[in-house]
Amino acid sequence: MTQISAPPSPMPGNKPVKFFARREKIYPRKVSGHYRRLKWLAMIVTLAIYYLAPLIRWDRGSQAPDQAILIDLPARRAYWFFIEIWPQEVYYLTAILVFAAIALFFVTSLLGRVWCGYFCPQTVWTDLYIAVEHWVQGDRVARQRLDKMPLCLEKIWKKGLTHFLWLLIAFCTGGAFVFYFNDAPTLWQQLLSFEVSHTVSGFIAALTFSTYIMAGYAREQVCTYMCPYARFQAAMFDKDTLIIGYDPVRGEPRGKHKAGTSWEGHGHCIDCTACVQVCPTGIDIRKGLQMECIACGLCVDACNDIMDKINLPRGLIRYDTEQRIESKDSAKNQSPRIWRPRTFYYLTILCLVAGLVIYGQLNRKPFELHALHSRNPLMVKLADGQIRNGYEIKILNKTHEDGSFSLRVENLQDAHIEIRGAGHLSPENLEVLADHVGSFHAFVSAPAQKDTPSDIRFILKDNQTGIEETYDSMFISRETK
């Protein structure tokens, strides 16, 4: 990792130390090879998922939306294929986030920064923007030449077309994002007829702007200065982590080499800087592992291409462990230790979290009961001497069918439940619409109890399936000081 040394103290007569350096624009050169193909593949797959996922339909019956992935904010529901999350189940979301974080640690410990190099949205969109730039303006030298050129027709149309395509991609990105929060076909119709709400257009505009800025201008600065993951992942690295590294043992001393002459006393690096020119973060990997390196592998492709041309074995820059790259002895030929204790720790935690989520989903009750004891008044003494307590009953019908439930109370002898509300309501037939929360006001009357408050249990039974759900509450027989 980059060593940050303390700035030299300003001495009298010395120039003042500058703490700000202007960003130097990076012009990554075109490269082809194994890692470049992998990056194209990752880009196509991730972009296809992002843009097309909201169009996938999933049948949940007539009472629920049929979009496979949907965050329905007005109805306060989140849908992911067969999983449906209510606001009361937000802990699933926490578990899913924990799972994603541990999965990232696991993959990093196993394969290094593959997330950063291939799947991170910042990398994917930046790569796409660079590809557009490349297509319109040409390769590295042509782009540098264009930037230095005074304003002319060629510059205007090339820059204009690049920015138009960037904005178009950014607009599609913002547009696709709002599809995750609305029914995609309906919203699509509204977009075509310019009938979208201000909120939707605001989100599309914000996402369009941020994509354009992040992928078009900020680029590698997001990874270097903004992303916290780049900072703390050093803690996950050890000598056995797979990295993209330059082999100094083989490469040094570097320098130009005349074709046909001996390699004796000469390292295999011919200092052509092809590895630097293709790097999207503009670093020189020959200086060692650096925080800015996103492990995209493009420098490997560039260097392998050079090695092929000068008839030397590939792999001067390669995807390997730091241990093997830096080793001068037999350790170089030892197999990399991919499975290490930390890999197993992460895998164990990952399995535990995944197990908890799956267990939670498999045992998810189709309905929930909440019975909140009324505070005002806590209890009422009736004319016949019985005590009456009030409760706010909430029944969450999570199914997509209308439900009928019966409510009873346990641990309270001779208890009688009365449901108050519009119309005739009976505790044996509490009706709740599909995918709705039913609210009822219940009065429980019983003889005064010796202990107060005394523990009681409400039991709710689904009249169709017989499944029961309980809720523990209390019964207060007298006011206490």
Q: Tell me how far CA of residue 82 lies from CA of 57, 72, 427, in angstroms.
A: 11, 15, 32
Binding ligand SF4 (rule: CB under 6 A), the pick from 169, 275, 353, 430 is 275
DSSP 9: P
Both tokens of residue 385?
């001497």
CA distance 41 to 479: 71
Binding ligand SF4 (rule: CB under 6 A), the pick from 274, 432, 446, 476 is 274
Residue count at the site for ligand SF4 (CB under 6 A)? Answer: 29
Contacts of 287 (CB under 8 A, 6+ apart): none
Both tokens of residue 346?
């992460």
**317 is an interface residue for ligand SF4 by CB under 6 A:** yes
Stretch that binds ligand SF4, among 7-15, 189-197, 201-209, 282-290 (CB under 6 A): 282-290
Q: Of 77 and 286, which has the nearer Cβ to ligand SF4? A: 286
Question: Residues 12-31: x/- map of binding to ligand SF4 (CB under 6 A)?
Answer: --------------------
Residue 126: CB minimum distance to ligand SF4, A = 11
Helix (H, G, I), strand (E, B) or coil at 52: helix
Both tokens of residue 111?
């394969």
DSSP codes joined into one string, 272-284: --HHHHH-TT---
Contacts of 382 (CB under 8 A, 6+ apart): 388, 445
Of residues 197-256, those binding ligand SF4 (CB under 6 A): 244, 246, 251
Binding ligand SF4 (rule: CB under 6 A), the pick from 64, 102, 187, 306 is 306
Residue 43: CB minimum distance to ligand SF4, A = 15
Q: Of 221 and 273, which has the nearer Cβ to ligand SF4? A: 273
Contact 208, 174 (CB under 8 A): yes
CA distance 95 to 371: 27
User: Which of 241, 266, 247 has its CA nearest to residue 304?
Assistant: 247
Binding ligand SF4 (rule: CB under 6 A), the pick from 281, 321, 399, 445 is 281
**36 is an interface residue for ligand SF4 by CB under 6 A:** no
User: Which of 303, 57, 34, 30 has its CA nearest to residue 179?
Assistant: 57
Binding ligand SF4 (rule: CB under 6 A), the pick from 102, 269, 442, 456 is 269
Both tokens of residue 196?
């979208």
**130 is an interface residue for ligand SF4 by CB under 6 A:** no
Contact 92, 99 (CB under 8 A): no
Stretch that binds ligand SF4, among 136-144, 264-272, 322-330, 422-430 (CB under 6 A): 264-272
Contacts of 108 (CB under 8 A, 6+ apart): 114, 115, 233, 236, 237, 241
Phi-psi region of 466 (alpha: psi -120 to 50; beta: other; left: phi over 0): left
Question: Residues 285-304: x/- map of binding to ligand SF4 (CB under 6 A)?
Answer: xx------xxxxxxx--xx-
Residue 296: CB minimum distance to ligand SF4, A = 4
Residue 165: CB minimum distance to ligand SF4, A = 24
Residue 242: CB minimum distance to ligand SF4, A = 12
Stretch that binds ligand SF4, among 123-131, 135-143, 234-242, 265-273 (CB under 6 A): 265-273
CA distance 346 to 226: 25
Q: Of 196 and 325, which has the nearer Cβ to ligand SF4? A: 325
Residue 249: CB minimum distance to ligand SF4, A = 13
Residue 343: CB minimum distance to ligand SF4, A = 22
Contacts of 335 (CB under 8 A, 6+ apart): none
Both tokens of residue 130?
């660079």
| Binding residues for ligand SF4 (CB under 6 A) | 244, 246, 251, 269-275, 278-281, 283, 285-286, 293-299, 302-303, 306, 316-317
